[in-house]
Amino acid sequence: MKNFLISMIAAGLVSVVPVGATTGSLAPQQLLTGILNKMEKAHQELKSLRAELLQQKTNSQIGITDNEYGSMIYKPSTGRGKGRLRIDYTRPTKDTIALVGDNVIFYQPRLNQVFKSSLAKAAKGKAGGLTQLIGLDGSIKSLASNYNIEFLKDETINGQKTTLLRLTPKTAGQFSAIDIWVNQQNWIPAQWKLIERNGDYTIVSLRNVQLNTPISDGAFNVAIPSGVKVVDKI
């Protein structure tokens, strides 16, 4: 499953579900509101993001995990400019996913085919996780209405101090929960765990993150060789 990145959440729009964990003297609702405010501020200040990517898909039925490695670049929308994301997988496959606004390109060189469509159609196929994690700037309101959000705990992962949040869908869908580890230094997500209703899950981790380095819009264009088959579903 080729999927990625989450929109930041506006604290004033989400449904807060208090849980038993607390940090210091703050009540869970106060703590969560403060976290979401910091995330929203970080997202407003974000101009671009580069990172190495590790994606681990676990089949819980047979206990097998498949690892995929790659790199990612991202630019949020600004004014009339569209949000942009590109992931280039390097192993074991060399697939590329690129999003510009609502348009999706999923290029699979080994199959000599490219999927070109919208996020809405991609949601029905293998790229369905894109609509859950990427959403770019337009998904803030939909997250507010579709998910409950909990603060779970503070945790160190990959040498980073993070805050772990859980998003639980209010209605049935592909995922039963989405966990997000937020870096406490820059308040940008460092890791996601997408838990499917059948128990399978995918963990996506960002390493060596670089914020606000110059990235041209052209970097999100995917060069498709002639003769590649174009499909509208995966």
Q: Give the count of beta carbons closer than 10 Å to the beta carbon of residue 105.
A: 20
Calculate the CA dihedral of residues 104, 108, 109, 115 and round it to 10 degrees: -50
- pLDDT recorded at residue 54: 93
Does the reported pTM lie above 0.85? Answer: no
Backbone angles phi, psi at 47, to 5 degrees: -105, -35
pLDDT of 97 above 60: yes
pLDDT of 224 above 90: yes
One-letter amino acid at 147 equals: Y
Peptide bond into 169 cis (omega under 30): no
- One of 3.40.50.10190, 2.50.20.10, 3.80.10.10, 2.60.40.420 is the CATH number of 11-231, namely 2.50.20.10
The C-alpha atoms of residue 139 and residue 137 are separated, in whole angstroms, by 6
Backbone angles phi, psi at 108, to 5 degrees: -120, 90
> pLDDT band at 144, cuts 50/70/90?
low
DSSP 83: P
- pLDDT recorded at residue 3: 39
